[in-house]
Amino acid sequence: LGYVYHTISQSPPWAWHDAFFPVTRSTKRPKLIDAGLLILSKYPIVEADSHIYNAGNQIDAWAAKQVLYARLEVTPGLFCHVFNTHMQASYFDNHPDINILNDAARHLQLVEMGKFIRRKTAEIPAPALITGDFNVNSRAGGPTATVPVKVWDHPFTLEHVSAAPCSEAVNDEHELDEYRFLVRMLSPCGELRDLLYEATSHHPVTYGDVCDLENPREMVLTHLADYGSRLSIDYIFFADCEANKASGLIEVVPGSTRVEPFFVPEGSVSQTKLTQLSDHYGVST
């Protein structure tokens, strides 16, 4: 396929990691699990970096969850920043008080990621793709939702939101506040375009989809408590820079972004009931 360049997430540091854990207020815990992030590219990767999040809670605190970075040289002297992440999850079978702490940890990860993005894009102005499993739901629920959506409510929001620019693309009355906060925190140039939203005019389900109101679409890899949750938590964002806006050398093909369900053809996997390659749908552009 021509993807001859790659960079992978930083291995877990086999030592006590400086961190903040909302549940215990502890500042030390070892990271034992890899983040599982990968960037493949047809273009040379001229710089690679990563940042392991300090914040984490519950089982996610044991994983080296992070943001992975690559700077691609599309043509000589023309660059594109790429960021990939997997963030703290909240769990439907948790007590609500625990999920508030999980949400707080994810909020702090967004702050960390925003600072990392700004540092990298300030060094060399260029367009940026920001992707991954953010575990931030943008669907506020509706008549077809089978379970309540997670509530995002903790005391750290207003200080950071008021200091961050807001994208005009965030205009859907059904979007949740945490999604709006994500867009504001990760905008390195004042505007962050949600490419999937632009292409579809809504936030499609990427996790916990259903065949109908009573039957989950995927039941092997998806956590039981998440059946029918119908969340939109996987994204491709695009942030342009002034120089590229003027030249137009790197642009997104309008309407090209879509959900990739990665269904397994019936009968192709023997002795299993696997119907998808992942519990999440993919997103491509």
* Per-residue pLDDT tens digits for 148-158: 333 333 333 33
Better-predicted residue by pLDDT, 24 or 45 = 45
Mean pLDDT of 89-108: 92
* pLDDT bucket at 265, cuts 50 / 70 / 90: confident
Hey, which of 81-95, 170-184, 254-268 has the most confident mean pLDDT? 81-95
> What are the Cα distances from residue 236, in Å, to 132, 163, 229, 264?
7, 23, 21, 23
Can you tell me the mean pLDDT for 49-78? 94
pLDDT grade for 23, boundaries at 50, 70 and 90: very low
Q: Which residues are within 8 A (CB) of 268 and not within 5 positions of it... i.e. 6 or more apart?
A: none
Q: How far apart are CA 130 and CA 81, in angstroms?
A: 8
- Is residue 7's pLDDT more than 90? yes
pLDDT-based confidence at 257, cuts 50/70/90? very high
